[in-house]
Structure 1
Amino acid sequence: MNKNLLSIAIILLAVAIIFVNVWDKPASEGMGDADSVDITKDESIPGVDLGEVQEGNQAPDFTLTTLDGAELKLSDYRGKKVILNFWATWCPPCKAEMPHMQSFYEENHEEVEVIAVNLTNMDKGEEAINTFVKDYELTFAIPLDEAGDIGMQYQAFTIPTSYAIDEDGIIQKKIIGPMDEAMMKSIVDGME
């Protein structure tokens, strides 16, 4: 008798699961324009407007302290093209990209500034960052995003993430993943 009750309970549970999956319409079905959701503002990330940092928009200004203790403000670079990069020392694609970025910077620093924002809140500490910079002989600006706010604002959810910003401070291109020197040159040349 107990086996029969257990069998009936399992069958009823299976039927209930099938009923819920087959007959329950997804919440997104049948949504009209009046019910549509604005996904450019994510309420789970307080103060972050995901629609703000897009190609064609003004790059949001920020001020961060660099690895050498200087204050860096993005808007101070108006009048010059900028490659704004987000990275961390433990990231293999970032490691692959850095020699290309350094070489590109050495050849083009008169016209293009490279700003490589370290996502310090996700990294292994300043000592690891200093070692990385020394090992890769990096000479461009390395601001530290210690709170992670700038990386979040610039949607650096996958790293490296880079932005090509023109002389007027307008975002021309977002690049997710590593770049090589030829790609950086092509992107910067495309901003003219």
Structure 2
Amino acid sequence: MSDRTDKNKTNRPRWRRWAVDIGLVFLVVFAVQAWQTRSMPVGKAPPLQGSLLAGQKVSLQDYRGKPVLVHFWATWCPVCRTEEGNIRNVAKDYQVLSIAMTSGSADEVSQYMRENGLDFPVLLDESGLLSVAWGVRGVPSSFIIDADGQIRHLAVGYTTELGLRFRLWLAGWQS
């Protein structure tokens, strides 16, 4: 009888084990995302204003009417470097306002942008005050703001171009 019980245990479907493992992975990913975004604002987007690298004054209010990606990043961040092509491509079709967090002077960030072929709008956050106001504790951090100034989606860490485009598209429908 002992042999028969052992044999039944080995014949259990493997799909159950796979389903449990996949479920655990999703649970961990969801829990980490919830932990990382715990201090980030929800609802109405906080004020955001300053001068772009080129010197023009800008405010989040200037982007009203269409969804906008507010993207916090840093020149020293390897994940941000991996993601910058996604942001550049999304900026061709959607409004993007990026914030370079503790990345050096305006000249240093401008040089970084030129060297990497990046041309989306950048606010400089040398002191980190904008990041604190938005609850950003890590980079990259992305906020999708709808046409009415409401935060619809947020993410910390690498986000695919398709993921950003989909969230921006959804924000256009949600407002």
TM-score (norm 1): 0.66
- 2:100 corresponds in structure 1 to 118
The answer for the alignment partner of 1:95 in structure 2 is 81
Q: Which residue of 1 aligns with 2:54?
A: 68
Q: CA deviation at 1:150?
A: 1.1
Asked if residue 83 in structure 1 is aligned to residue 65 in structure 2, the reply is: no
The answer for unaligned runs of 5 or more in structure 2 is 1-38
Matches within 5 A, 1:1-192: 50=39, 53-54=41-42, 57-106=43-92, 108=93, 112-119=94-101, 122-191=102-171, 192=173
Report runs of 4+ in structure 1 exceeding 3 Å deviation.
Answer: none
Deviation at 1:140, TM superposition (A): 1.6
Q: Is the 8 A contact 1:64 1:145 kept in 2?
A: no
Q: Whole-Å Cα distance in 1 between the matches of residues 125 and 58 of structure 2?
A: 11
Q: Residue 103 of structure 2 contacts residue 126 of structure 2 at CA under 8 Å; is this kept in 1?
A: no
Secondary structure (helix, strand or coil) at the match of 1:190 reads: helix
SS at structure 2 position matched to 1:138: coil
- Larger-Rg structure: 1
Q: What displacement does 1:148 show?
A: 1.8
Deviation at 1:169, TM superposition (A): 0.4
Q: Normalized against structure 2, the TM-score is what? A: 0.72
Q: 2: distance between equivalents of 1:158 and 1:148?
A: 11
Percent identity between the aligned chains?
Answer: 27
The structure with the largest helix share of the pair is: 2
CA RMSD after TM alignment: 1.4
